[in-house]
């Protein structure tokens, strides 16, 4: 998703921080909102692929907030997180617009599985496999290969590569990549994008082949399409 972007609406600071860290390590861009009001503001500024919503929030109740969102036409998937575990509460949450329901306390592995399942549903209408040149990314399994060889990529490296593949043949700026992959945590003054581009080059480029990721002076980077013919024997004899 390259950076499938998640909004976690949770007022418990420690839990919110743990979710942000864990989901970030799993390859997602994560924003935190401690209240319905803050979530509403975040939704007005950014596009999200999934919202994780606690029902017991300060100010407006999470379920009331969800009902309002659905009435306004919001269609993003919502995973309800709550300590309310009665059947009646579960039914109210799902009837109010929730797509799935997880009671606290929960295992992070189960949360992650549910997040991925909801995102797979979201992508059902789209191709789950991205291709550019001989790069293939299976977005549901979160694996990438080049020329049939599986690439050993970290979650963030995969997200950068996926962004380049989705924009193959187009120049993308450093900030475009940074904001897509790191979200609000991206610092435009850092060299994090350059670091990850260099890591990707070390892992995906082939010996005696033209570079797949090229630097566009004054613009940024581009994943090259239709690599020019290259004959290593001819080049070696020049």
- Entry pTM: 0.55
CA distance 211 to 186: 26
pLDDT at site 9: 97
E strand intervals along the chain: 5-9, 29-33, 50-54, 78-82, 100-103, 129-132, 135-138, 143-146, 149-150, 213-216, 220-223
Mean pLDDT of the chain: 84
Work out the average pLDDT over 104-109: 90
Q: How confident is the model at residue 184 (pLDDT cuts 50, 70, 90)?
A: confident
Mean pLDDT to the nearest integer, 11-34: 93
Average pLDDT over residues 100-115: 90
pLDDT of residue 55 exceeding 80, the answer is yes
Alpha carbon distance 200, 34 (integer Å):
35
* pLDDT at residue number 231: 32
User: Does 95 or 13 have the greater pLDDT score?
Assistant: 13
Say whether pLDDT at 123 is over 90. no
Q: Where are the domains of the chain?
A: 5-122, 129-232
CATH topology of domain 129-232: Arc Repressor Mutant, subunit A (1.10.10)
| pLDDT, tens digit, 9 for 90 and up, residues 201-220 | 999 998 888 899 999 887 78
CA gap 211, 224 in Å, rounded: 8
Paired with 149 in beta bridges are 146
Q: What's the rounded Cα separation, in Å, for the pair 149 and 57?
A: 47
Q: Does domain 5-122 have CATH number 3.40.640.10?
A: no
Q: At residue 229, does pLDDT exceed 60?
A: no
Burial class (CB in 10 A: 0-12, 13-18, 19+), 54: buried
Q: What is the DSSP letter of 172?
A: B
């Amino acid at each position: 998703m390259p950076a499938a972007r998640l909004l976690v609406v949770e007022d418990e600071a420690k839990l919110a921080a743990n979710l942000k860290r864990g989901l970030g390590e799993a390859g997602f861009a994560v924003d935190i909102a401690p209240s319905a009001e803050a979530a509403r503001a975040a939704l007005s500024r950014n596009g999200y692929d999934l919202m994780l919503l606690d029902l017991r929030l300060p100010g407006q109740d999470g379920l009331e907030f969800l009902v309002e969102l659905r009435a306004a036409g919001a269609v993003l998937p919502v995973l309800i997180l709550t300590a309310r575990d009665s059947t009646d509460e579960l039914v109210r949450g799902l009837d109010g617009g929730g797509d799935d329901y997880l009671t606290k306390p929960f295992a992070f592995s189960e949360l992650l599985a549910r997040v991925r399942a909801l995102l797979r549903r979201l992508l059902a209408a789209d191709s789950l496999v991205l291709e550019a040149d001989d790069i293939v990314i299976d977005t549901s399994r979160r694996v990438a290969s080049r020329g049939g060889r599986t690439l050993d990529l970290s979650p963030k490296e995969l997200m950068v590569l996926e962004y380049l593949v989705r924009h193959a043949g187009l120049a993308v700026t450093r900030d475009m990549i940074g904001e897509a992959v790191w979200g609000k945590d991206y610092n435009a003054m850092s060299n994090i994008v350059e670091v990850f581009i260099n890591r990707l080059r070390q892992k995906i480029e082939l010996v005696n082949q033209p570079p797949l990721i090229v630097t566009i002076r004054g613009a940024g980077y581009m994943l090259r399409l239709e690599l020019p013919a290259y004959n290593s024997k001819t080049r070696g004899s020049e």
